[in-house]
Amino acid sequence: MATVELTKENFERTLKGNDIVLVDFWATWCGPCKAFAPIYEEVSERHPDVVFGKVDTDAQPELAGYFGIGAIPTLMAFRGQIGLFSQAGVLPAEAIESLIGQIKGLDMDAVRREVAEQEARQGHAHGPGCDHDH
């Protein structure tokens, strides 16, 4: 599968509609991003079951801001709409392959329990606008 351009219009839909989504935050003026692009594209061809998204941080500053992207390229990985990985810098193909293998091997029920426990420890397990006492 080739890479997919992600925008604020299709980002959430892409996460909801796919089990595993990798996201490359990049920009046209970024030399390391240009070096990473063919590596990312090559790995995407070997994993048709994984969405390989790309976010142009210049064209999509809201997404870059939302995820706190401070350096590019940054690779993020999501499974079941849960952010599992974020790392800035150019990753070799072997590292991306390893990451995909680790993500596929996760027990997502355990991950969801851990996320719920973290939210409970932070004292607010509900979204913004929640108006009841905890």
Catalytic residues: 30, 33
Question: Residues 85, 76: contact at Cβ < 8 Å?
Answer: yes
**Dihedral angle over CA of 59, 61, 62, 68, nearest 10:** 140
* pTM (2 d.p.): 0.85
pLDDT, mean over the chain: 90
Confidence of residue 124 (pLDDT cuts 50, 70, 90): low
pLDDT tens per residue across span 47-85? 999 999 999 999 999 999 999 999 999 999 999 999 999
Domains and CATH numbers, the chain: 4-121 (3.40.30.10)
What is the tens place of the pLDDT at every residue in 93-107? 999 999 999 999 988
What's the burial of 79, exposed, middle or buried (CB within 10 Å: 0-12/13-18/19+)? Answer: buried
Cα-Cα-Cα-Cα dihedral sign, residues 44, 48, 50, 54: positive
pLDDT given for residue 1 in this prediction: 52
